Each structure stands twice: as C-alpha cells, then as structure tokens.
Chain A
C-alpha cells in the first residue's frame, strides 16, 4: 500500500499560500471599493426632489412662450447649433407672461446652481431631445461637447464660460462675459470684476457633470410625448448647512 506524505507543511509553503491569499484579497478590494464610490455618486443623479424641480422648470419653458426671442441666427441659437445646447435664462421668458416673475423666484428656490437673483446664468442646459448620437438635424452632439477635456496631446480644450454665446475673439468674448456677469450682480460689488473674470475662464461643465451626462442614455428613439428638447440641470444644495451638487434631466416640448 502506498504511504501518505506526512511531512506536514513548512514555512515556505505557508508563505506561498499567504502571498496568494493576499494577492486575491487585494485584487478584490481594489476592484470592489471604487464601486461604493460610484454608487454614492449616483445617489445625486435624478433623485425625486430634483426630478420634481426639473418638472417645474419644464412647465415654465413649455407654458410661457419661452424662446420667441431666440432665433436660430441669434447668439443663443448659434450656441445651440454649434455646441448642442443653450443656457435657459428667465430673461428669455416674455415679460408679458406672469411666469417671468415666477421663473426668477422658482429657479432660486429650487437651488439651481449659478443662478443670479434675476434667474439668469443658471446651470440649466436646453439641448435637443437626442443628446448622444448624430442628430439627423446636424446639430452638435451635446454629449460630445460636454466630454471635451483639456488635452495638449489631443489638442482639445474644454469649453469655457466666455465662449458661450460668443463667436468673436477670446478677448472680446471675455469682456462681453464680464460685462454680463457684472450686470447680473452675482458677486459682491468690491470683488465683482475679479470674480467675473475668474468665472469667465471657468469650464462650463465640471468633471462631475461630465460623468453624469456620460451616463445618460442617448435618447435615440423619438420621444413618446413628441418632445423636441431636453433640459439638463445642475443643482447646488446649500440649505441646512449642505454643500453638494445634484443633477436631473427631463424632456421638454
């Protein structure tokens, strides 16, 4: 009868098993832990409060005669064609409509990010309904615009605020933006000039916003409600000592 090897195990064998186990567990940890961060990020995507907030902005846009002053050839219209979005502002709601006043109060109450007291310059991006594929209308793909990052290697530069709604030189566009920013009185008057210049050079889309938009569907199929547009909104929650951003989207029209 063949005898069993009863030598037991030695240090070398224990070490091999230990290294093997450590490698497996560190790999599990390495791949599993980022999932928690990813999950926490998604808590601020389209939550119930933001969805209802987006709904009321949608109602204002749909119900107020919004956009009658925005021609395709206007600076906003060109921005829509060139970059696949335009910034919704309460000033574009006709003054003749009672919703113009309501709009200003509403966007601030809803804590939309970057809003001035008169409801302008808010982070409400009006886009085509389809945001992620080559729209048959030849409009710029919004997802592509958002995804562009500063890269010397690729020769790309993320969109800056001063380039929005402007087709002139960088200097001219910066001056125009600073003038608009000052008129909106977002900052304290003493630091207005400096702050507005800083804002002019800020990226339009933060990295967190880029991640949110990248995760949105392309909406290739036509809307069941025949919606032509979509709004993508960034909220900044500051009530009750909070300080975090959240995001929502809803179809419009």
Chain B
C-alpha cells in the first residue's frame, strides 16, 4: 500500500503564508472601513438633501405659485435662543411665516452656549395660524461636560436680507463636523414680481 505524503509544511512556509494573509486582510480591512465611513456620510447627506429639498419645495412653491407682495424680517435673542422670523404677505391676501430657532448648548465652539439645556434647532413654516415644525435631521450628538446634548448637525448661520425692497434673500446654513458648511437652504425670491405678459419670442428672435 502506498504511503501518504506526511511531509507537512515548514515553519518558514507557515510564517510567510501568515504574513501574506495578514497583509492582504489588513489592507482590505482599511479599504472596507473607509468605504463604510463613506457610506455613513452618504447616508447623512441623503437625509440632509431630503430635508432640504422638502422644505425648499414647500417655501418656493408658495413663493412662485402665489407670489409675495410684502416681506418683513425680525430677529429676537432671548437667553441663549435666537429666533429669526420672516413674515410674508402673499398676493392672494394670505400670509406665510418662516421661523428659525437656534439655541446652542455649551461646547468648545459655542462657549457662550447654555450649560443647562441641550442644543435645540427648529425650522417652522406655514401660515401664522398654522405653523408646521420641520425638525432638522438628527445625525449624531456628543454630550458636553454638563451632560447636555450637542448635536453634530446644527443650524450655524442664518442670513436673511431684503435687498432693495424687491428681493427676499434667505440663507439657512447647516454645519456638520464631517460635511462642514457645504449644505444649506437658499431661498431667493423677488418681492411683488409682476408678470408683464410679454412673450420673449416677440422680442428675441435669433433664428434664421
């Protein structure tokens, strides 16, 4: 009867194989980990985009389909909370109100923030009688030394201006440590825009 080959493998072969397998596994692990991090960020982006698109569409639909005749902007600071309010009178006689609330908890970035309350951000939009809250997406948080929540995703910059009495300019800037200030809501709309009823094809004719 023929004997089996029982030579086995030498220690050196085992070590070399082990090193090779470890090298491949570790390089694959770092790649997979990087992709996983990317996946999480993309998920955050998607949530931000969904939120931004929904709110922008609500506001712009009203501004475009109905139109604004007047706009007023007011800012109030109460304790650590800043409230921005835009009141619009629409062409159909109804009103719209946009309220943006920012309240920061204490953190390295906001040393003047509250030591007794959590971060709190809220955007509300609707008629003055029926304001609908649009809470910003929660994309993780840390806890400050006073045990209060500091949100990773925050409203860090609100710029509202009525330019030359005929353009309403709203910018709500978001901040996230990984995504920085890249994502924000921008709503720019002429005030009291009157359609002249002209037709561009009668004034512009560039075809032969």
Q: Which of A10-18, A180-188, A213-221 contacts B (4 or more CB under 8 A)?
A: A10-18
Contact between chains at A77 and B188 (CB < 8 Å)? no
B134-182 interface (Cβ within 8 A of A): 156-157, 159, 163-164, 166-167, 169, 171, 173, 181-182
B157 CB to nearest A CB, Å? 5
Q: Which residues of chain A are near B163, meaning CB under 8 Å?
A: 105, 109
Q: Which residues of chain A are near B57, meaning CB under 8 Å?
A: 48
> In whole angstroms, what is the CA distance A136 to B163 when docked?
43
Majority secondary structure of chain B interface residues (helix, strand, loop or mixed): mixed
A21 interface residue (CB < 8 Å to B)? yes
B5 interface residue (CB < 8 Å to A)? yes
Partner of A6, one of B4, B169, B185, B206: B4
A156 interface residue (CB < 8 Å to B)? no
Q: Which residues of chain A are near B157, meaning CB under 8 Å?
A: 240
Size class of the contact patch on chain B: 35 or more
Partner of B56, one of A22, A52, A97, A105: A52
- Known A-B contacts A18-B20, A25-B28, A105-B163; the reply to A72 vs B204 at CB < 8 A is no
B64 CB to nearest A CB, Å? 7
Given A10-B13, A56-B189, A252-B200, 20 more contacts at CB 8 Å? A3-B2, A9-B9, A11-B17, A25-B28, A52-B56, A56-B190, A64-B196, A66-B203, A67-B203, A67-B206, A68-B204, A99-B196, A105-B166, A109-B163, A109-B167, A128-B207, A239-B184, A240-B157, A242-B182, A253-B201
Interface residues of B, Cβ cutoff 8 Å to A:
2, 4-9, 13, 16-17, 20, 24, 28, 31, 38, 45, 52-53, 56-57, 60, 64, 156-157, 159, 163-164, 166-167, 169, 171, 173, 181-182, 184-190, 193-201, 203-208
